[in-house]
Structure 1
Amino acid sequence: MKLNVKTLKHFEGLELPAYQTSGSAGLDLPAAVPADAPVVIEPGDWKLIPTGICIALPEGYEAQIRPRSGLAAKKGISCVNTPGTVDADYRGELHVNLINHGKEPFVVQRGERIAQMVIGQFTQVSWNPVDALDETARGAGGFGSTGV
């Protein structure tokens, strides 16, 4: 799939999001913060980090913004609303809502890969009100009901 992308002025000089391996599901998103003004995220705090790009998803598709596993494992950095959803009709700049779950301040540098974006199809539903649902072996069991 070819995806239309528009770069903003503060993206200049950065690389477009890219898959890091041939089997990668997510494109790594770069931070489009000024080189001379990195963003510091203190432990327990979160900040919206600009990417400098806007995309045009086709109808029936979404982009999910997800944490990078390396940043999570090594620094405790994640996304506040994960996965974040970019709807097909949104045309504004993509931002990543990073949170620092670590013990040290985290400095977001220009061009650093801060999250990954996965593109996927979705289905919209309509409701069919009924008096009862079909029975299953699991039934209403949830939150650990199937064991450890």
Structure 2
Amino acid sequence: MNVNIKKLHEDAEMPKYAHEGDAGVDLVAIEDVIIEPGETALVKTGLAFELPDGYEMMIRPRSGITLKTKLRVQLGTVDSHFRGEVGVIVDNTANFADLFDIPTIEDFYVIYGIDGRYYCGTNNIKEGGGYIIRKGDRIAQAVIAPVSRAQFTEVETLGETARGVGGFGSSGVSAE
């Protein structure tokens, strides 16, 4: 399948698969973005896509970032008829009070990079637990997949199943 891509920024990097057999391509940040604890940011990719009709692009987290940081990439959908810049929504779930056992944060700050490095100092900045996504960082992955279109029919009753209306947690947590 061919997907046409337009670079909207000179520093935009064409998406690529990191390994043979990968389902997703990496999306790369085109600028530095600092995300403080509790904040949400849009990370720009500088790319617009022309997806074939009947397909979508799913924006997904990279597992290493999710495991090693407090950053959470929000799942996203890019529809085939969208032609604007693809961005990645990222939440910083860090809470400064949970990160350090210090009596005051008046003169202390910490900024983490998604590469595992961190930067800290004391210059009267009341910040901490922030993350920096640097220009060139692979921040998310995109998976292109077919879309099924459903037809909906309103009915008076639904078919019976063993589960019935059992909702969240109805199957328990034990594997036995």
Structure 2 Cα separation of the partners of residues 130 and 113 of structure 1? 46
Structure 1 Cα separation of the partners of residues 144 and 49 of structure 2? 11
CA RMSD of aligned residues (A): 1.3
Structure 1 Cα separation of the partners of residues 5 and 51 of structure 2? 9
Structure 2 Cα separation of the partners of residues 102 and 64 of structure 1? 25
Could you tell me which amino acid in structure 1 is paired with residue 63 of structure 2?
A: S
User: Which residue does 1:18 correspond to in 2?
Assistant: 16
Higher relative contact order (CA 8 A, sep 6+): 1
1:109 aligns with 2:134: yes
Structure 2 Cα separation of the partners of residues 146 and 93 of structure 1? 41
SS in 2 for 1:21: coil
**Offset of 1:100 from its aligned partner?**
1.0
Offset from partner CA, 1:67-101 (integer Å, 9 cap, x none): 1111111111112xx32110110000001111112
After TM superposition, the structure 1 = structure 2 runs for residues 40-119 of structure 1, keeping only pairs within 5 Å, are: 40-79=34-73, 82-103=74-95, 104-119=129-144
Offset from partner CA, 1:21-59 (integer Å, 9 cap, x none): 1121111100011xxxx2110011111111010001111
Provide the TM-score with structure 2 as the length reference: 0.75
Q: Which one has a bigger Cα radius of gyration?
A: 2
Structure 1 Cα separation of the partners of residues 64 and 72 of structure 2? 10
4+ residue runs over 3 A deviation: none
Structure 2 Cα separation of the partners of residues 23 and 44 of structure 1? 35
Could you tell me which amino acid in structure 1 is paired with residue 66 of structure 2?
A: A
Aligned counterpart for 2:25 among listed residues 24, 27, 30: 27
User: Which residue does 1:130 correspond to in 2?
Assistant: 155
Unaligned runs of 5+ in 2: 96-128
**Offset of 1:15 from its aligned partner?**
3.1
Structure 2 Cα separation of the partners of residues 128 and 114 of structure 1? 40
SS in 1 for 2:65: helix
SS in 2 for 1:94: strand
Count of residues in Structure 1 that have an aligned counterpart in Structure 2: 140
Unaligned runs of 5+ in 1: none
Could you tell me which amino acid in structure 2 is paired with residue 41 of structure 1?
A: I
Same amino acid, percent of matched pairs = 46
Confirm or deny: 8 A CA contact 1:68 1:78 kept in the other structure. Answer: no
